[in-house]
Structure formats: C-alpha cells, structure tokens
Chains A and B, each alone.
Chain A
C-alpha cells in the first residue's frame, strides 16, 4: 500500500503529538507563558505548513505549482479513503484556515488559556478530522471524521474552564452535536439497509431502483435525515440554533475556528455525500437545497440586525454566509461542473474575510475588555490599520467590490442563474444589501462614534499582524487576479 497519500494527515498527527507530549520541553526552555505559547504555536505552524507543502506537491492537483515528488494512488484502504483533486483542494483550504486560526490565537492563549499544549494539539486533531471528512469515501469514515472534529470542538469550547459562558457553550454544543450525530446515523442506517453498502460509489450504483418509478419512502427519510445531520455542521437553518450561543461562549480563536474550518469541513462532507445521487433524485434535492439556502440566508441576515454582541453577530452572519454557500451546491447537483467551482472559490475568499474580522475582534476586545459592539467605539483612531482591514473584510463579507467577497458572490450567483434559479440569485442579492446594514453599522461605530473611555492600545503582536496582512492580501488578490484561482477551483471541481 502506498502510504504517501496519508502523508499530510500523518504530518498533522505527528505535529499534534509533538505539541502534546513535548510541552514539558518547551516549559523547561523558558518559563514565561508568552514565550512558551510562541514556541508551541510555532511548532504547530511548522507542522501544518509541512502538510500544506506536501498537499501542494501532489501530482493529482494538476496545478503545476510545484514539480511533483509524489504520485499517490487515488484511493486506498479498500476505497475508504479517496484522494481526488477536490479532496486535495478542500484539505488545502482547511489547512490554510487552521494556520490562520493558530496565527491569531497567540495573544489570547497566553492571556487566558492554561493548558497550552493540549489546546494546539486539539486544534491539530480537529483539523485532522476535517481532512478525513473531505476524503472520506464511505459512511463509517465520514462519521468518524465528523466525530473527530466535533469532539475536539466540544473540548476546545470548554477551554476557558472558569468562565461560565464557556462551559455553557460546550454543553450546548455537545447536546446539539450528539442529537444530530444520532440523526445522521439513523439516516445512514436506512440507506445502508436498503443497499447493503457503505461505500459511496457502490451506494450510488444501486440507488436507481429506489428512485424509479416512484420514490422509496425509506430512501427519502434516510436521505433527509442524513442531510439534517450534516447540515448542523454548516449551521444551515433548521439546525442553526446552536451557533449563536456556542460562538458567543467559546474562546474567540475557537469561534474563528468553528466559523471557518468546521464549516469548510461540513461543506466538503456534504458535497461528497451529494455526489452519490443520480439525476432523478438530484432534481428533487435541488429544490430542497434552494429552499434551505433561502431560509438560511434570510433568517441569518434578519437575526443579525438585532445583535449587540459582535461574536453573536458573527454567528448569525456565518449562518447567512452558509446560505450563500448552499447556493453553490445547486450546480454541483445538476452536474454543471464548471459552475460548481464557485463554491470552492467562495470558501477560499470566506477564509480570508472571516479571519481578518476575527483577528481584529481578538485584538480590540483585549483592550476594550468586552465583545459588545458599543465597546468598539472610536477604536479606529487608536489602531487605524487594523480597523481599516476590519472594515475591508466587512465590506467584502457584504459582497462589495473591490474585494474577493464580491468576486466569489458574483460566481455563486452566476452559477445559480445558469442552473435556472434566477430568483434564488435575486434573493441572494437582496440579502447582500440587507447584510450591508449591519456590517456598515460596525464600521460606523469604529470610525464615527467617540470613545467614552480612554484606553491605551498596545501594538499588535506578530501573529495578529501577519494574519491581518494575509487576509487583506488574500481578499485583494482574489478580486484583482481571480483567474488563476478560478482555474484551480475548476480543475478541482472536475474531481467532484
């Protein structure tokens, strides 16, 4: 068996072990927490960069970025694990988002978290879960990938142990997660019971007899329950209720992690799950996805309007973003591979926009001591650069030029129009306008409201500064030269 396919995963796992078991070594080098966090975080970053490098060098990517050293088989372990171009793309963006999350976490961790080694080890393990989800080609592996990322997230949410809100959010996340994994498993059990297979390709080949001439009721229930179980991971609407509480209570870097990495992993799993359906089933599913998308967009946006706490606002905003992203699944279901690249492209832009915002939130809330929007009054004068990038990211999230969010949304809407869902694109556009209101409100608070307190701001540390610069560069590059990235996404979507 060729083990090079697992090389990125193995590297991440090794990093987790080093960080976990080598914590005492970092402690003995230096006793100050800040330096320890920096060392451990640096090792984590190094491991993730190594994994990223290996992924980029895989031949099947076909990007020609780096001359390839490895030529992996596409699937191993009795086809439980598949490494096609879309899996590689998803893994790359999952790793990038984890790297950025680690970058923004240094200051926060050294201030508030006591178990530093375990914190970064669990982030590595959760990343690993996301990577397994994106190349799971079989129900059991997918379920285990989901559990891997979920269980580590429950623990990570609880890391501010003395904080009431943190433990409350962990409990709520745990309960909702357990409920939805039970629902997912029930759906899987019905699909398995009809066919006798757990491998997705074999499942797909037997589905014809359950959709024609009339839809088999068990099949329908199984599919709906599986989608419900997967939908919680991306916080799509009927399953979104956990998001605001968990996002508010969790430590802020973990909130960033949940809103980016966890969501990307969820979309990776859903897009792989949707591939098993044949055409007659897909037609019915498209309607379901369109309805979910509209509900998710509208509810996310309308509930954002009333929020006072910025982490809660970002929970609802990320629900709304999941709505736009669901739109990208429609071309995928209709087998229009050219347009289904839009979801990959928007996810890439989404990482940079969101990480910019969370870097700013972590930086500002350290000095204002609160995550209420009002507390952000007048911060633009104290730290003009970070406030500027924050504003750029917010405008990009609302989908306005000249940023990557505009390009991404444009392609999503074009994909929906090409698939015959013009009304959906219209609803999306209207929603973008609504979202502009609450995003601009934050910008207004930062720039035009006078601060009541006089707080001294320290300069941002290297991690936050790097993350902020990277996110600004990311959204600008994705707007100015989108073509190579779209080409890349299209190439990967062919593997879907």
Chain B
C-alpha cells in the first residue's frame, strides 16, 4: 500500500469519527473540540491533494481562528451543564433523519460510480502554491474577490449592531 493511501485512511477515519462525535456529544464544548480535530484532519486531506495554500489556511484560519471564536462564544454564553437542552425523543429524531439521509447517501454514492477512471493526474510542482493561487485569485476571480470585501464589512457591521448594548 502506498504511503499516501495509508495517510488518506488515517485522516479520513479521524475526520469522520470526530465529525460523528461532534454531532452526538451533548456538551457544545466537546463538540467544538472534536470539530477542531475534524478540521485539522481535513487539512491533512488537502495536503494529500497537493493544495499547499489551503493546507495552511485550513489550520490557521479554520481550525485556529474560526473555532477559537466558536469556543470563545460557548464559554461566554456559559450554559450550565443542567441547563443544556435535554436530548429527548432522541431515537425518534435519529430514525427520521436517518431515513431521509440514508437514501441520499446511497444515491450520491451510487452516482459516483459513473466516474469510471478516478485516477488523479500528475500535477505540476507549483500546483496549489501561494503564487499560483494568487495569480488566479487576482485575475480570473478578481470580481468575487472584490465582492467578498463587502461581505466581510456586512458581517462586521452585523456583529457590532447585534451584540452591542444600548447606545
């Protein structure tokens, strides 16, 4: 077995298991920490796919910054253990959603078999580096890049408006 196959199995298993832990734990803090594990193993998957810049961004921005924000807010909300919503009628909920989602997974999984030859082609050395991503981002996709600045301004504005107390 090739080395990258082994790494793929480790990373994907860790990602899926910790994702599962995330959606089943009662306390949001344990959920958030297992989501961090998922994101770090996703970074590993990106690395296997030769996405060098994304590998860094995933760890720095996603697992680092965004999840810190989430964990910080969980601490700030400070919901006590006994005030956590009781997961009642859990079997009912689980079975209904599984009934909906299982056929979906099955159909999606089946449809992927259409891809006859899923071998990845050889990529060049600078595939996914900061230089090549930057070249793309500032030429072909410069319009979305401009739009995203407005989006970030909106979210900044929204957080200030919603979270601040009386003027």
Contact = CB atoms under 8 A, between A and B. Distances in A.
Interface string A211-228: 000001110110000000
Contacts of B161: 115, 118, 155, 159
A151 B147 contact: no
Nearest to B163: A161
Interface residues of B, number: 27
Interface in A134-151: 138, 140-141, 144-145, 147-148, 151
Given A151-B151, A151-B155, A152-B154, A218 B112 contact: yes
Nearest to A126: B154
A20 interface: yes
Contact of A155 (B108, B144, B154): B154
Nearest to B144: A140
A344 B42 CA distance: 45
A78 B154 contact: no
Interface in B111-133: 111-112, 114-115
Interface in A141-188: 141, 144-145, 147-148, 151-152, 154-155, 158-159, 161
Interface string A105-130: 00000000011001001100100100
B148 interface: yes
A115 B142 CA distance: 33
A76 B142 CA distance: 11
B157 A20 contact: yes
A132 interface: yes
A69 interface: no
Nearest to B115: A218
* Majority secondary structure, A binding face: helix
A98 to B, nearest CB: 16
A413 interface: no
A115 B155 CA distance: 15
Contacts of A151: 151, 154-155, 158
Interface in A72-125: 76-78, 80-81, 114-115, 118, 121-122, 125
Contacts of A218: 111-112, 114-115
A140 B141 contact: yes
A217 B140 CA distance: 30
Contacts of A115: 161, 167
A362 interface: no
A20 B158 CA distance: 12
B70 to A, nearest CB: 14
Contact of A80 (B141, B162, B166): B141
A77 B110 CA distance: 38
A207 B163 CA distance: 47
Nearest to A220: B111
A431 B110 CA distance: 40
B5 interface: no
A13 interface: yes
Contacts of A121: 157
Interface string A190-222: 000000000000000000000000001110110
17 contacts: A77-B143, A78-B142, A80-B140, A80-B144, A138-B144, A144-B147, A148-B151, A148-B154, A151-B151, A152-B154, A155-B162, A159-B161, A217-B107, A218-B111, A218-B112, A220-B111, A221-B108
Given A140-B141, A155-B154, 12 more contacts: A76-B143, A78-B140, A78-B142, A115-B161, A118-B160, A122-B157, A141-B147, A148-B147, A151-B154, A155-B161, A217-B110, A217-B114
